[in-house]
Amino acid sequence: MRPDVLETLVSLAKRRGFVFQSSEIYGGTGSVWDYGPLGVELKNNIKQRWWNAMVRERDDVEGLDAAILMHPKVWEASGHVSGFSDPLVDCKACKARFRADKLADAQCPRKPSKKPGEHADCQLTEPRQFNLMFKTFMGPVEDSAAVVYLRPETAQGIFVNFLNVQQATRQKVPFGIAQIGKAFRNEITPGNFTFRTREFEQMEMQFFVEPGTDMEHFERWKQARLDWHLGLGLDRDRLEFHQHSDKELAHYARAAFDINFDFGGSLGFQEIEGVHNRSDFDLTQHQQFSSKKLEYVDQANNKRYVPYVIETSVGADRVTLAVMVNALREEAVPGEQEGRTVLGFHPALSPIKAGVFPLTKKDGQPEMAEKLAATIRKKFTVFYDEAGAIGRRYRRQDEAGTPFGITIDGDSTANHDVTIRFRDDMGQIRVSADKVVEVLAKYLEADHRTADSKLVG
């Protein structure tokens, strides 16, 4: 079993400004998190990579940004009003709530630690269904006619816009629609840091295909999505497919695989993405509830049909957490008593690409360093730091996951050259100050993470 690193990560995330608890000064809000300066850069880099892979680099997928609030009938058609619920059990003795289907994994909040129902005076109620959608009201009147929901998935915004997008872009089936956006679920048992939260972001794509060709597209997307996760630098042996059994499969789904990532500890392998063959269920439901035809007309072959949908659905927060867990390492440093903590991100994902450090605060070093930082900042994210011992400054950037440290020393002002120090092997190369941006670009482009001068040119 891989070690449980979540506790270490939660404190590092706060210390370095990746993730803070929401409304912390008021005691925090249950399972809602805020991304700090480094966290927002990291998550944006991941979202940007997804958008590039799914929309920009393809000519058969279009982008969309649908609203969070939708017509309430959408959620009747999708089945969320009647079926998006978990079985809830209350304990009348301690007032805790549990998912009835997860009792075996749950912990009673009272000491000594036991499972719900195991203390002598536990009083568990019969399970009742609890709908996970957040309800609110549209307009100033709070009555049942004004009820709307915060969307529990982004997918429905895509289904209801299927014909709008198809007609506006003149795409031919097979084609897809992709979007990134917030989703909300009133989870009964959120937890494990940002793994299961009540407000989160999804990156979803629905690929519309001709019935009969669906399984071939399904297999292709399954592989493409696994490859995308590998491209983020997630270790191959921490990723696996989990095929939904007949019991897990939604009644309308023809096939479903989760991509699971090993978060370590007791959490272990957990879903970060789902790839689903949803048949024509969603479009057919929306056709029925809206009384609007949602057919595709294939003029070339003189056919009309409701397309099948292959869905890829990944949580931006969950992948960000997986990337942080995968990157975290604590290691000894040869010749030093204290070890170091490193977030060894794929450099393309690193929130800060380069730290710039004058060795001392005199002899023109800060001036040269600030000038260099300003030049690099035009192309890459930079952190300028002149405070404290150089070793400490390197350690701070190791924890932030910064792949390159650039040091300006006594020779730099005379020779106009600097040292580039590499996060992963702590090796160093010397380059002309004028070539720093070009050299960083080459190392980033080649995803080359160790100190040899072969890319200096």
Where do contacts with ligand GAP occur on this chain (CB under 6 A)?
153, 155, 185, 187, 196-197, 200, 202, 204, 271-274, 311, 313-315, 317-318
Q: Which is nearer to ligand GAP, 152 or 358 (CB)?
A: 152
Count of CB atoms within 10 A of residue 246's CB?
5
CB of 260 to ligand GAP, least distance (A): 9
- As measured in angstroms, the least distance from the Cβ of 116 to ligand GAP is 21
Q: How far is the CB of 313 from ligand GAP (least distance, A)?
A: 4
Pick between residue 100 and residue 205 the one whose CB is nearest to ligand GAP. Answer: 205
User: b/e for 41-65, b at 16 or more Cβ within 10 A?
Assistant: bbbebbbebbbebbbeeeeebbebe
State which residue, 189 or 381, has the beta carbon closest to ligand GAP: 189
DSSP 8-state code for residue 108: -
Residue 204 or 399 with smaller CB distance to ligand GAP: 204
- 382: buried, middle or exposed (CB in 10 Å: 19+, 13-18, 0-12)? buried
CA dist 262 and 123 (Å) reads 35
Q: How far is the CB of 391 from ligand GAP (least distance, A)?
A: 38
Q: How far is the CB of 109 from ligand GAP (least distance, A)?
A: 21
Pick between residue 41 and residue 317 the one whose CB is nearest to ligand GAP.
317
Q: What is the largest CA-CA distance in the chain?
A: 79
- Contact yes or no for 306/280 (Cβ under 8 A): yes
Residue (310 or 444) nearer to ligand GAP, CB: 310
In order, the DSSP letters of 190-224 are -BTTTTB-SEEEEEEEEEEE-TTSHHHHHHHHHHH
Q: How far is the CB of 39 from ligand GAP (least distance, A)?
A: 15
Query: Which residue type does 156 have?
Result: Q
Cβ pair 169, 58 in contact under 8 A: no
